């Protein structure tokens, strides 16, 4: 163990999309008791923390990212006492529990919004962002909603617009209002008091908007047919300087407790991203780094982005890497099944906390959802649905892949579930699941991989190579991002033995002078 590091630095986070992990109640939707029943799998896999996407009371317009009560579990997922049991059962297995905090917006069914919209002089009116129409009746500015159309909704009853960065059923809270801050920070305390180990904070970079609500400028690179929200550059509607004050207040709340983690969901370029660490270790512990999701899958590009990120990290900041989540196409679909193994090796050998998305350990792919089964609001408006990466976990070859006893599941399973599932891959020495488990166990048993320094090693073309070093120990990682054999020339200091190959063979082979990589192969070499 790297003893002077905290659990969220040395650990591996596993994201659970609760609708799709395990259904214990038999209604076709996953739930908390289902998660409890699968904790043994996660312990076997070796992950040390789970982050559960929102499971709070919600009308589910955005599948839980529209919360109507932050202090209760939605009946679809179970009860508060199920959550208490889940926390206890995870902790018994030394697995930490991270929940999902959605502070930018509530559901329009939240009692706060009902009050706010009831009259212009309601005490909670200012808890949301209300503005008059322009004299010609048009919205207060040109801001767009992420999920389509303009970001302003007209309220007939009080004759004003309210702002929503996502669906109109997700009105944005006004984080400039101190009462909002207090109310939301007390939600955090409610859960931290219950034993939750941390929060992933939804769209942290959206929390504060320009005080004058200035128009966003046009994006000169936007083309007809591209994602409509990108037509404007969100210069005034997100990533405002004052957001860092809010993050600092959240951090202060976390610091009232021992060793809790605050993770920010932030889609901004690296120079702005690292500002979310704060100025003096007073920001988010882990501003999520999505570069592996966003960059083209190319050894040179990925190498450059790792270097840029490593160089940009402020003193004392702990890095992190994400390869998949519930909003982005599955890695197996993006880079192909063979390269997904290389990607797993990259994720699990880089410096910084890795986050693994459920099912990626099986090589789950994006699943084609027939048009009549599309449920994601983004899919219904733009046809860029996130349903394909949210399909039920594939546990075994039984009906519904062991996910649910219901006749029909909320999203269909992948047609390949009988072949790609935990049961089939678990004891298969060459499976992608075995590769993940071996990588996780290697990382978790080696302080050098958990905490060692990162240094790039010169390589060309499709090969990315780097070392991790700590206390005199070292590993070399060499990854072939292409479908052709490659040879890497190594200087004398980089001799060693293969600890793991993505092909799950050649273990223990000596390596010195030059290293031959097969197509789509990555290797971890123990130096010395
Ligand atoms: C975040 C979530 C996404 C959700 C959106 C609105 O980006 O990851 O799933 O739709 O916020 O809450």
489 is catalytic: no
Token pair belonging to 389: 């990466």
Phi, psi of 85 (to 5 degrees): -65, -40
Residues 6+ apart with CB under 8 A from 427: none
How confident is the model over 52-75, as a mean pLDDT? 98
Ligand 1 contacts CB of residue 202 (under 6 A): yes
Ligand 1 midpoint to CA 528 (Å): 46
Q: Which part of the chain has CATH 3.20.20.80?
A: 7-106+178-440
Ligand 1 midpoint to CA 496 (Å): 44
Kindly report the length of the chain. Answer: 528
Ligand 1 contacts CB of residue 66 (under 6 A): no
Residue 309, H or E segment: helix 299-312
Q: Which part of the chain has CATH 2.60.40.1180?
A: 453-527
Ligand 1 contacts CB of residue 172 (under 6 A): no
Q: Domain 453-527 belongs to what topology?
A: Immunoglobulin-like (2.60.40)
Q: What does the DSSP assignment read for 264-283? A: E---S-HHHHGGGG-SSS-S
Q: Which residues pair with 498 in a beta bridge?
A: 525
Q: What is the pLDDT at residue 382?
A: 79
326-361 pLDDT, tens digit each: 999 999 999 999 999 999 999 999 999 999 999 999
Question: Residue 437 to residues 17, 42, 219, 326, 360: CA-CA distances in angstroms?
Answer: 20, 10, 44, 22, 12
Q: Measured between alpha carbons, how far is 454 from 404 in angstroms, rounded to an integer?
A: 43
**Lowest mean pLDDT across 1-10, 90-99, 264-273:** 1-10
Ligand 1 contacts CB of residue 127 (under 6 A): no
Ligand 1 midpoint to CA 202 (Å): 6
146 by Cβ neighbours in 10 Å (0-12 / 13-18 / 19+) ranks as buried
CB 413 within 8 A of CB 367: yes
Q: Measured between alpha carbons, how far is 366 from 377 in angstroms, rounded to an integer?
A: 17
Nearest atom within ligand 1 for CA of residue 166: 6
In Å, the largest CA–CA distance within the chain is 77
Task: Name the residue of 62, 110, 357, 387 whose CB sits within 8 Å of the most ligand 1 atoms, as the mutation to test its pocket.
Answer: 62
Token pair belonging to 495: 């001799």
State the CB neighbour count (10 A cutoff) for residue 378: 20
Ligand 1 contacts CB of residue 169 (under 6 A): no
Ligand 1 midpoint to CA 185 (Å): 20
Ligand 1 contacts CB of residue 56 (under 6 A): no
Number of helical (H) and strand (E) elements in the chain, helices listed first: 16, 21
Ligand 1 contacts CB of residue 205 (under 6 A): no
Question: Residue 99 to residues 17, 184, 192, 371: CA-CA distances in angstroms?
Answer: 11, 14, 10, 31
Please check the confidence at residue 226 and state whether its pLDDT lies above 70: yes
Instruction: Look at ligand 1, atom 4, and give the residue with the nearest C-alpha.
Output: 65
CB 311 within 8 A of CB 343: no
Instruction: Look at ligand 1, atom 6, and give the residue with the nearest C-alpha.
Output: 65
Q: How confident is the model at residue 381 (pLDDT cuts 50, 70, 90)?
A: confident
490 by Cβ neighbours in 10 Å (0-12 / 13-18 / 19+) ranks as buried
**Lowest mean pLDDT across 274-288, 373-387, 455-469:** 373-387
Ligand 1 contacts CB of residue 432 (under 6 A): no
Q: Domain 7-106+178-440's class?
A: alpha beta
Nearest atom within ligand 1 for CA of residue 66: 12
| Nearest CA-CA partner of 333 in 229, 429, 414 | 414
Ligand 1 contacts CB of residue 60 (under 6 A): no
Question: Residue 312 to residues 240, 402, 500: CA-CA distances in angstroms?
Answer: 20, 44, 30
CB 185 within 8 A of CB 253: yes
User: Given the structure tokens 């840029």, which residue do they identify?
Assistant: 308
Catalytic residue among 179, 182, 255, 256: 256
Using only the alpha carbons of the chain, give its radius of gyration. 23
521 is catalytic: no
| Nearest CA-CA partner of 349 in 443, 432, 478, 438 | 443
Q: Measured between alpha carbons, how far is 457 from 480 in angstroms, rounded to an integer?
A: 14
Q: For 94, which DSSP code?
A: T
Residues 6+ apart with CB under 8 A from 75: 57
How confident is the model over 212-220, as a mean pLDDT? 98
User: Given the structure tokens 């905490």, which residue do they identify?
Assistant: 451
How confident is the model over 144-166, as a mean pLDDT? 97
Task: Name the residue of 203, 234, 378 whose CB sits within 8 Å of the most ligand 1 atoms, as the mutation to test its pocket.
Answer: 203
Ligand 1 midpoint to CA 327 (Å): 7
Ligand 1 contacts CB of residue 62 (under 6 A): yes
Ligand 1 midpoint to CA 326 (Å): 9
Instruction: Look at ligand 1, atom 7, and give the residue with the nearest C-alpha.
Output: 203
| Nearest CA-CA partner of 35 in 51, 58, 18, 48 | 18
The percent of residues in the chain predicted with pLDDT above 90, rounded, is 97
Instruction: Please enumerate, as own/partner, the contacts of 241-247 that have beta carbons within 8 Å and a separation of 24 or more.
Output: 242/176, 242/208, 243/204, 243/205, 243/207, 243/208, 244/275, 244/276, 244/278, 244/279, 244/283, 246/175, 246/181, 246/207, 246/208, 247/204, 247/276, 247/278, 247/283, 247/284
Q: What is the pLDDT at residue 2?
A: 63
Nearest atom within ligand 1 for CA of residue 326: 9
Ligand 1 midpoint to CA 265 (Å): 9
Token pair belonging to 219: 């994006």
Q: Which part of the chain has CATH 3.90.400.10?
A: 111-163
195-207 pLDDT, tens digit each: 999 999 999 999 9
Ligand 1 contacts CB of residue 306 (under 6 A): no
Ligand 1 contacts CB of residue 310 (under 6 A): no
Ligand 1 midpoint to CA 342 (Å): 28
Ligand 1 contacts CB of residue 203 (under 6 A): yes
Ligand 1 midpoint to CA 491 (Å): 46
Instruction: Look at ligand 1, atom 12, and give the residue with the nearest C-alpha.
Output: 65
Q: Measured between alpha carbons, how far is 54 from 466 in angstroms, rounded to an integer?
A: 37
Cα end-to-end span (Å), the chain: 20
> Across 106-170, where does the E strand assignment appear?
130-131, 152-155, 160-163
CA 169 to chain centroid, in Å, comes to 23
428 by Cβ neighbours in 10 Å (0-12 / 13-18 / 19+) ranks as exposed
Q: Domain 111-163 belongs to what topology?
A: Oligo-1,6-glucosidase; domain 2 (3.90.400)
101-153 pLDDT, tens digit each: 999 999 999 999 999 999 999 999 999 999 999 999 999 999 999 999 999 99
Q: What is the pLDDT at residue 514?
A: 94
Q: Is the pTM of this model over 0.85?
A: yes
Reduced 3-state DSSP string for 363-382: CCCCCCCCHHHCCCHHHHHH
Instruction: Look at ligand 1, atom 3, and give the residue with the nearest C-alpha.
Output: 327
Instruction: Please enumerate, as own/partner, the contacts of 308-314 that have beta carbons within 8 Å and a separation of 24 or more.
Output: 308/270, 309/270, 310/351, 310/454, 312/270, 312/271, 312/273, 312/274, 313/274, 313/277, 314/274, 314/277, 314/279
């Amino acid at each position: 163990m790297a003893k002077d590091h905290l659990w969220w630095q040395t650990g591996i986070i596993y994201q659970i999309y609760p609708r799709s992990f395990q259904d214990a109640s038999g209604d076709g939707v996953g739930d908390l008791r289902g998660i409890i029943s699968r904790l043994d799998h996660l312990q076997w896999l070796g992950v040390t923390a789970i982050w559960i996407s929102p499971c709070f009371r919600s009308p589910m317009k955005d599948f839980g990212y529209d919360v109507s009560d932050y202090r209760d579990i939605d009946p679809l997922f179970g009860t508060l006492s199920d959550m208490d049991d889940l926390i206890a059962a995870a902790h018994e297995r030394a697995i930490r529990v991270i929940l999902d905090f959605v502070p930018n917006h509530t559901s329009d069914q939240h009692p706060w919004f009902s009050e706010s919209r009831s009259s212009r002089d309601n005490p909670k009116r200012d808890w949301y962002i209300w503005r008059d129409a322009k004299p010609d009746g048009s919205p207060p500015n040109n801001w767009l909603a992420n999920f389509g159309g303009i970001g302003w909704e007209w309220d007939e009853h009080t004759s004003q617009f309210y702002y929503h960065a996502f669906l109109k059923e997700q009105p944005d809270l006004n984080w400039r209002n101190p009462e909002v801050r207090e109310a939301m920070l007390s939600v955090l305390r409610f859960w931290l008091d219950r034993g939750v180990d941390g929060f992933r904070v939804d769209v942290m970079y959206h929390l504060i908007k320009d005080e004058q609500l200035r128009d966003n400028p046009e994006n000169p690179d936007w083309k007809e047919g591209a994602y409509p929200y990108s037509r404007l550059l969100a210069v005034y509607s997100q990533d405002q300087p004052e957001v860092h004050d809010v993050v600092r207040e959240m951090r202060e709340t976390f610091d009232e407790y021992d060793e809790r983690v605050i993770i920010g969901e932030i889609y901004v370029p690296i120079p702005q991203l690292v500002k979310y660490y704060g100025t003096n270790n007073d920001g988010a512990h882990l501003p999520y780094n999505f570069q592996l999701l966003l960059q083209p899958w190319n050894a040179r590009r990925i190498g450059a982005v790792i270097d840029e990120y490593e160089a940009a990290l402020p003193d004392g900041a702990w890095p992190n890497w994400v390869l998949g989540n519930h909003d982005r196409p599955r890695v197996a679909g993006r880079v192909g099944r063979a390269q997904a193994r290389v990607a797993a090796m990259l994720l699990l050998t880089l410096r910084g906390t890795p986050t693994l998305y459920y099912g990626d350990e099986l090589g789950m792919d994006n699943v084609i959802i027939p048009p009549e089964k599309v449920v994601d609001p983004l899919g219904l408006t733009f046809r860029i649905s996130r349903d394909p990466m949210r399909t039920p976990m594939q546990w075994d070859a039984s009906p519904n892949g062991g996910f649910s006893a219901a006749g029909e599941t909320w999203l269909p399973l992948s047609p390949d579930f009988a072949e790609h599932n935990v049961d089939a891959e678990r004891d298969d020495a060459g499976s992608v699941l075995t590769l993940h488990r071996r990588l996780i166990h290697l990382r978790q048993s080696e302080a050098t991989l958990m905490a060692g320094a990162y240094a790039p090693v010169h390589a060309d073309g499709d090969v990315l190579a780097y070392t991790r070093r700590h206390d005199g120990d070292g590993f070399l990682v060499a990854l072939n991002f292409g479908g052709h054999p490659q040879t890497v020339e190594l200087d004398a200091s980089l001799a060693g033995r293969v600890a793991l190959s993505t092909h799950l063979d050649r273990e223990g082979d000596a390596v010195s002078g030059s290293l031959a990589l097969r197509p789509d192969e990555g290797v971890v070499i123990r130096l010395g």
